[in-house]
Structure 1
Amino acid sequence: MARLKKLGILSGLLLGAAVATPPAAGAFELFGFRLWGSEPEEDRIEIIDPLPYTATLRVSGTEDGGLQKRMETASALWSDRETPASGNAGLISKARGDYRRLLATLYAEGYYGPYISIRINGVEAADLTLAAELPQGVPVAIEIQPGPPFLFGTTRITNAPPFQPEGRDGVEPPRSVGFETGESARSGTITSASALAVEQWRQLSYAKAREADREVIADHPTGRLDVDVTIDPGRKARYGTVTVEGGSRVDREFVAYMANIHEGAPYDPDDLNDAEDRLSSLGVFRSIRIVEEENILGDGSLPMTIVVEDRRRRTIGFGGTYSTIDGLGVQAYWMHRNLFGKAERLRFDAGIEGLLLTSDPADYNYNLGVTFTKPGV
C-alpha cells in the first residue's frame, strides 16, 4: 500500500518493520538477519566426533578455464572444507558422494571419459573402509582430468511427435536446444530434448506422454555420443469431470466456472495454465493446484481436480509517505475478500496528506474511496 512521492527532496520514508527480539545479550537481528552478536546456542549445529581436514582440488588437461570453478562448486569436500567432517565415516561418505557429483557435472559439460581421483591421507577414498585411522587435519586431494569434450553423433527420438516448423508458435524442435549431430554433447541437452518431445505430445492431447527409454553410447576413439530417446505418447485424452476440493469458502461451482475447463474438450496443457491464471486473478486464493487423474479412463476422459486454499478473508493495511513539498501522508485500507461466496471484494481506502506542513486541518488533503469487485460477470 505504501507509495513514495518523487516531488521535492525526499527526506525519509517511515514504514512498519518487524524487528526480532534479541535472542541473546549483545545480539541483534533485523528482518531475520543477524547484524551483530553471537549465534544463540540452540541455533548451532553440534558435529559429532569432528574431524578437521584440508582440501585441494586440481583440474588438468583442459583448455576450459571455467571448469575449475564448476568442479569446486560441485564438490562437497571443497565447499565444506572449513567445516569439520563428522568423524571418519562422515568424511569417507562425503568423498564417495563427490565421485557421483563430480561425474554428473562433467557429463553436464560434455566430458564422458574423465579421470577422477579423491585421496584421503594418500589413499583413494573408494578403497577406504570405515575402520581406517585418519589423523586430525587429514589432507584430502581431489584430482580431475576431464578428457576431451564429446560431440553428438547420431541423435534420434523414437516416436517423435510432429513439431511445428521453426518460427511458428508452439513447442520448439529438439535441435533448438542443440540436440543434433556435431553439437556439444551435454547431458542436460538430452534431457531438454526429451522434455520438448514430451511437451509436444501433450500439446497434441496426449496427456500422459513420457520418456520410456534412453540409450546413450559414448564412442571414445571418435569422441562422439550417440543418443536414442524413446517416447511413449500414451493415449489421446479429453477432459473428464472437474471437481473442486480444498479448504475454501468460495462456491465450488463458481470456482469450476471460472476455471473454464470444458468436459469433453480435447486435453491441452495451455488450458490448465490459463485456468490457474484466471483463478489467481480473483485474489482470494493463497494456493491453486490443478491435479490430473493418474490414468486416462477407458472412455478417453481424464478427470481433473482443482485444489484451492483461501487467503485471509479480511485484510487491514497501513502506509506512509513524506516529502519536503507535500509533507507527511498516511493511508490505510480495509478489504474483505469473498463477501458473498463468489470471490466478491469490498475495499475501503482512506488517506490524509499535508501533515506537518500546517496545523490547520482545513488545509489537509483527504482521500476516501470504496471499491466493490464482482468477478465472472
Structure 2
Amino acid sequence: MRSTSLASRGALTLSLAAVFGSACSAGSRVTSPQAGASTPPVASRPASAIYPEAGWRRADPGDAGFDPVRLEKIALDAGKKGTNCLIVIRHGRLVAEWYWNGTDVTTSQDVFSATKSYAGALVGIAEAEGRLSVDDKMSEYVPEWAGTRSEDVTIKNILSNDSGRHWDVATDYRGLLRATDRTGFSVGLGQDAAPGDVWAYNNSAVQTLDAVLTNATGQSPAAYAQDRLFGPLGMSRSRMTLDAAGNTTMFSGLHSTCEDMARFGYLFLRKGNWRGKQIVPRRWIEAATGRPSQELNAAYGYLWWLNARGPVIDPLRPGTLRPGSTAQDRRLVDDAPHDMYWAIGFGGQIIQVDRGSDTVVVRLGRNVPGVRYGPAYTAEIVTTALVRP
C-alpha cells in the first residue's frame, strides 16, 4: 500500500491540529458532592453497571480513587486554556465537573468534528438492524458513483478515512463549508486514489454518510439519531444540525452539553449497552475503537482517534494548512494507556474513554491562539490524578 499522507482542514474547520488552541478564562464554577455528604467509596468497579437517570449519581473524587488536589490542579489549568466545561465520570458516577465563561450544565455548544464519532455509531446501529453492511460499496447507496473510479469505495473506507476521495484545503475548508447542499457537493467530488491507498482526514468523504444513512434507513440521520441514540440515552440537550438544503451535517455540527456527551462516551465504555439494551453492537464498538481500522494510521479506527502504537498521521501540521506528516512509531499520546480513545473536534472538544480505569472525561471549550489543548491534557486525569485502581 502507498501511505501518502493527505489531511484535511485548518483553523476554522474541524481538524485535530487546530483542536489545541486556547487562552486564559475566568469565572469558574465547580460542581461536586457537598463536603461531608454520604457517598459510598467507588474506587472498586461495581458488580453491575451504574447508569445515569435524569442526572448522574455522584461520588467524592477521593472515594473514586483520585487525588483531589491533583485533579483540581488539572481542572484549573484547563480553565486557563479556554475550557467551558470539564467532567469526569468513573464507575458510572460523576466525580466532578467544572464550568467557566458563564456556562452551566444546560449549556450546549457545537462539538465540531467530535460529531464524526456519533455519525459512525449511527452506521453501526443501522448495520445491526440489517439496513447496511460496512463492507457494502458506497455506490449501492450513492448511485452517482456507479461506473466511476469511486464505485469500489466501501462504507468501511469512509469510516476509516482511507477512501481515496478527493481532498485539498480549498475543497475541504472553503468549498464544503460554503456549500448550501453539502451532501451534493461531497458526492460530486472526484477520486484521487484507489480505496485503501491513502489516509486523509476528509470531511467531504464523511459527509457522504448522510446519503448512505438516508437511503438505508428512510430517515434523515438527524431523526435517526434522535430515535436510536439521543432518546434512549436521555441526551435531551443534543441535536444534529442541517445544512441549507436540509441534509444532516455528518462531519461536524452536533450541538451538545458536557453531561450529554458523557452519556455517549459511557455508552461506548459499556460496549454499547445501556440498561440491558444493546444500543450499538458490541462488535461494532470493538471494530471502531479496539484496533486501527486500516494499516496507514494506527491512531484511527471508525471515526474515533486511538492510542495504538504505529504510524500516526495528523490531519494537519500544527498551525498550518499543510498536510499532516507521518511519524512511523509513536502513539497519539505517548504516556496514556494504549487502549484509551477519543472523539475530538476543533477547539479541543473531547470525549475520552479509558477501559482500564473505567473512566469517561469530557472537555468542551473554545480555540484561542497561543495555547494548545488536546487529548494529552485530558489523559492526565487518568495518568496523573488517578491514584487508586
Which TM-score applies when normalising by structure 2? 0.18
Larger Rg: 1
Which TM-score applies when normalising by structure 1? 0.18
Q: Specify which structure has the bigger relative contact order, considering alpha-carbon pairs within 8 angstroms and separated by 6 or more residues.
A: 2
Q: More helix per residue: 1 or 2?
A: 2
